Amino acid sequence: MSQVSKILKRDKKLFFDDLDCECSNSIASSDINLVADFTEYNPLHNGHFHCMKTAKHMFPDSLFVAIVPGLFERSGRGIPYILPREIRAEIAISVGADIVVEGPPMGIMGSGQYSLCLCKMFKALNTSYIPRGYKPVEGFDEILKRINMGHHIAPKPYKIVDKTTNEIILKDKLEEDNYVITSFSNSLSKIGFDYTNKFIFVERIEGVSGTLIRESILNDNFDGVLDMMPSETIEVLKREIKNDSIIYGIRDVESILDTANNYDFEQLSTLNLFNDKLAKNIIDNGPYNDLEQLEKSILYGFSSHFRQRVLSILENPIPKKIISDYIDKYPSNIRILGYKNKESLEKFIKKVNNENISLFNGLK
């Protein structure tokens, strides 16, 4: 069995264990500030590091917690991560994070679903501050100002709405990082979390190219990106290339084709993000011998990465009803991927509003 197949098998068990776990809230008794940053760290580059350093400088006595998406190792775009989450957590701790916790299974969820899960995690962590990188564009300063006033800002197709005042405050689409901020505002409002003055908005730095970083990893040549990442990231990447632990772009092809070829219409149509039209198209164009043939049968969706997300769902075929139940209970268990030291761990446990806290054991 390949490393990716082992990861997916393990993570499916973790998913259903979490689903069966009864959430047990605790009453936190700590006054320490907890700064919670959600970032994929795919891999951790200077933009991420700048955001972390800015937040830590503003609140030097706080506990910095990184929420790193975990289960199934697929990004919000449905694409396999570069490194498994325990390695991404290791890098985060090495550059200054106190605690790294596992975030939701982004690759098998819609953007609204994982935004809601992340916000429920912010609430469970008793988060004091949330740092978020943004790209300055015309009209966005007003959105940021209203969010830190606690207004319910919601992204709609081609417009941004202030639901507190019932105003349209921007008539345009937002770039990904800026869209995430408005999505968080929307989800936090839905769960009743008061985020007034809790966001730390950090302007994105220039000079970091995710494309060049990924190419450097695939080519095992970091000469052109040495100034884009902390040295700790580069050292770990080189080590994991030698260990053959890079999982970027690697899928469990056998599982994907098995689902596409053997699930009937009813089974496919119940999967998360699927509808009747997509299910029918996959059945009508089968059977499939390879992923390229299958991808051609997947209709384009609202997102440019829709095909990759569908592949991730076929790889981990979980019905939308089960995903909904999982979201309702999330986070039933808070899994710690890494921690700086025992003192940080003890402070974290005292701060968190959840009694179900466990340490991640990787593939052991």
Between CA 279 and CA 283, with CA 281 as vertex, the angle to 5 degrees is: 70
For residue range 8-50, list pLDDT tens digits in order: 999 999 999 999 988 777 776 788 999 999 999 999 999 999 9
Helix-then-strand count for the chain, H and E = 15, 10
Query: What is the band of 1 on the pLDDT scale with cuts at 50, 70, 90?
Result: low
Looking at residue 229, its amino acid is M
What DSSP state is assigned to residue 361?
-
Q: Which amino acid is at 156?
A: K
Closest CA to 74 of 120, 132, 12, 1: 12
What distance in Å separates the CA atoms of residue 53 and residue 131, rounded to the nearest whole number?
10
pLDDT one-digit tens code per residue, 191-233: 999 999 999 999 999 999 989 999 999 999 999 999 999 999 9
Q: What is the DSSP letter of 224?
A: G
Share of the chain above pLDDT 90, in %: 83
Please report the pLDDT score of residue 27 as a whole number.
73
Encoded tokens for 244: 């053959």
Say if CB 352 and CB 125 are below 8 A apart: yes
Residue 190: is its pLDDT beyond 80? yes
Per the CB < 8 A criterion, the answer to whether 70 and 85 are in contact is: yes
Q: Encode pLDDT of 50-98 as tens digits.
A: 999 999 999 999 999 999 999 999 998 899 999 999 999 999 999 999 9
Structure letter (DSSP) for residue 87:
H
10 Å CB burial of residue 363 (0-12, 13-18, 19+) is exposed
Q: Give the bridge partners for 200, in sequence order.
A: 131
Q: Residues 274, 80, 214, 101: is their CA dihedral positive or negative?
A: positive
Question: Strand pairing partners for 37?
Answer: 66
Burial annotation 103-129 (CB, 10 A radius, 16+ → b, else e): bbbbbbbbbebbbbbbbbbbbbbbbbb
Rounded distance between C-alpha atoms, residue 51 and residue 202, angstroms: 6
Strands 334-339 and 357-359: parallel
Cα 96 to Cα 73: distance, rounded to the nearest angstrom: 23
The whole-number pLDDT of residue 90 equals 97
* CB-based contact 129:184 (threshold 8 Å): no
Per-residue pLDDT band at 100 (split at 50, 70, 90): very high
Residue pair 256/72 in contact by the 8 Å Cβ criterion: no
Q: Do 207 and 228 meet the contact criterion of CB atoms below 8 Å apart?
A: yes
* Model pLDDT, residue 303: 61
CA dist., res. 181 & res. 162, Å (int): 13
CA 293, 297, 300, 301 torsion-angle sign: negative
Q: What is the mean pLDDT of the chain?
A: 93
Q: Which residue has the higher pLDDT, 23 or 276?
A: 276
Angstrom distances, CA of residue 343 to CA of 9, 61, 62, 194, 359: 33, 13, 13, 29, 15
